[in-house]
Structure 1
Amino acid sequence: MNRSHVLASPPDNRTKYARTRTRILDAAAYVLSRQGYAGTRLSDVAGRAEIQTPAIYYYFASRDELIEEVMACGLADMRENLKSTLAALPPDTSAIDRILVAAETHLRHELEISDYTTASIRNHGQIPERLRIRADQEGDSYGAIWRQLFDDAARTGSLRTDVDPRISQMLVMGALNWAAEWWDPARTSLDGIVLAAQSLIRSALSTADHDVDAPPPAD
């Protein structure tokens, strides 16, 4: 399982400085995603990055600056991944199916692909407000994609008329984010989580019959 930050991974021709900085960020994302803001120590980050702890200060002025970068990168990466996944769907993909693909993309990125995204989601409420400014900006951009998905579903008649698009969007995103707190891969497969989430979303929101075919899988 590769849970490093896709956008931060450097090509071979990048400088040693950039490669080491990325290694520190990857290590910090791993530690932060598992130990939380309060439990993240620079010594743990340094150990995973295989450098001496004082060397971190050559790349980041403080522990908080490092954590702020991880948080912002996680949500930026998630946004770009969702944009590219939706762009690759066939043009005739229904509005509801686009929402279901977005749900799968969110869950897989959050739980399997990126430590950065897991760290961002799990620690948003733990970090000081001053460290949330960049992350909140990225989160707003990510949320705008979801708002468009739900607006499109309402506009095309794919969304039930007795549900509010904005409330439904926030409830769905909140449930998807919460999976990072309770999911245990030893008990339930990620595929099972994805299918359950898609079934619940379709049953709750779609005007179509519940026995229609599943949406195309996210890349």
Structure 2
Amino acid sequence: MPTRKKSIVRTPGRKLRKKPIEQQDVVAEFIARHNRRPKKSELTRARLLDAAAHTFKEKGYALTRLTDIAKRAHAQTSSIYYYFESREAIVVEVLRIANDRTLQRVNDFLAELPLDATVEDRLTAAIRGHYDIVLSQDPYTMAHMRIFDQVPPNIKKQFLGVLDETTAIWRQLLLEGQASGAIRADIDLSVTRQLLLGMMNWSIEWFRPGRLSVEDIAQQTATILFDGICTR
């Protein structure tokens, strides 16, 4: 009696699932900042923060819910509480990251200058660095610009100490400018700093790429700071 051959059922090979683009970006940024690959929990936390930054940027503080953040991060809403105790804790972290990125960008531009750079050169470099991050479409920076005036007073108060790290750079640069004679002695430096930062931060609302580049805007700002707009 002939033996019956067993039929072999071939199942299609299991395809590897590619990581979503946003997750690839989170991994790449984590490696760049920490020089190692993230643990699963670190990756999830970073993905939640990225989702929060994008959502706050688009919807503002009042209209953003934890469910919105979870949906964008492809996570369960309940899992957020494993990493953050509240929506306010997420807001504080998003603001902190935005401030850290701004501070780092300004310091990067200052670090490119030679040791004998004038105070005018240093202020101009700081202005270029600030515009470079503010107008970069960075979601954390854009979220910061949109929601900071919307968050409750207790969050603002908690965050003022972090903001002071950034303003300290400008305070020092302006003091050096006044001490060197580049800035007039009768100018109130606190007012100057607030006006300068306000002007640069507001550019996110009106700047559109085209006639002038980010570098052009930065140079215009430096020219107005040192030379004014009058012809005399």
TM-score, L = length of structure 2: 0.76
Aligned-residue CA RMSD (Å): 2.9
User: Which sits farther off after the overlay, 189-198 or 27-36?
Assistant: 189-198
Q: Which residue of 2 aligns with 1:41?
A: 65
Gaps of 5+ in 1: 211-219
Q: Which residue of 2 aligns with 1:27?
A: 51
Preserved CA contact (<8 Å) 2:49 2:90: yes
Mapping of residues 77-88 of structure 1, within 5 Å? 77-88=101-112
Task: Spell out, residue by residue over 1:17-42, the C-alpha distance to the aligned partner (whole angstroms, 9 max, x if none).
Answer: 00110111111112212321112232
The Cα shift of 1:180 comes to 2.3
- In the alignment, structure 1 residue 135 sits paired with structure 2 residue 159: yes
For residue 97 of structure 1, give the secondary structure of its aligned residue in structure 2. Answer: helix
Structure 2 residue corresponding to 1:9, chosen from 29, 37, 45: 29
Distance 2:158 2:103 in 1: 14
Q: Which has the higher contact order (CA 8 A, sep 6+)?
A: 1
The Cα shift of 1:172 comes to 0.6
Q: Which residue of 2 aligns with 1:150?
A: 174
Q: Which amino acid aligns with 1:62?
A: S
Distance 2:58 2:226 in 1: 32
Distance 1:143 1:193 in 2: 21
- In the alignment, structure 1 residue 71 sits paired with structure 2 residue 91: no
Distance 2:155 2:122 in 1: 32
Q: Which amino acid aligns with 2:149?
A: G
Structure 1 residue corresponding to 2:115, chosen from 91, 115, 118: 91
Structure 1 residue corresponding to 2:79, chosen from 55, 74, 87: 55
User: Which sits farther off after the overlay, 178-187 or 141-150?
Assistant: 178-187
User: Which sits farther off after the overlay, 196-205 or 175-184?
Assistant: 196-205
Q: Which structure's CA Rg is the greater one?
A: 2
The Cα shift of 1:147 comes to 0.4
Preserved CA contact (<8 Å) 1:150 1:166: no
Distance 1:167 1:76 in 2: 24
The Cα shift of 1:175 comes to 0.8
Task: Spell out, residue by residue over 1:176-195, the C-alpha distance to the aligned partner (whole angstroms, 9 max, x if none).
Answer: 11112333347764344323
Q: Which amino acid aligns with 1:9?
A: E
Q: 1:93 to 1:183 in 2, by over 3 A?
A: same
User: Which sits farther off after the overlay, 188-197 or 153-162?
Assistant: 188-197
The Cα shift of 1:142 comes to 0.8
Distance 2:194 2:98 in 1: 19
Q: 1:41 to 1:188 in 2, by over 3 A?
A: farther
Distance 1:34 1:103 in 2: 26
- Residue-pair matches, total: 203
Gaps of 5+ in 2: 1-21
For residue 29 of structure 2, give the secondary structure of its aligned residue in structure 1. Answer: coil
What is the percent sequence identity of the aligned residues?
Answer: 34
Preserved CA contact (<8 Å) 2:103 2:166: yes
Q: Which amino acid aligns with 1:10?
A: F
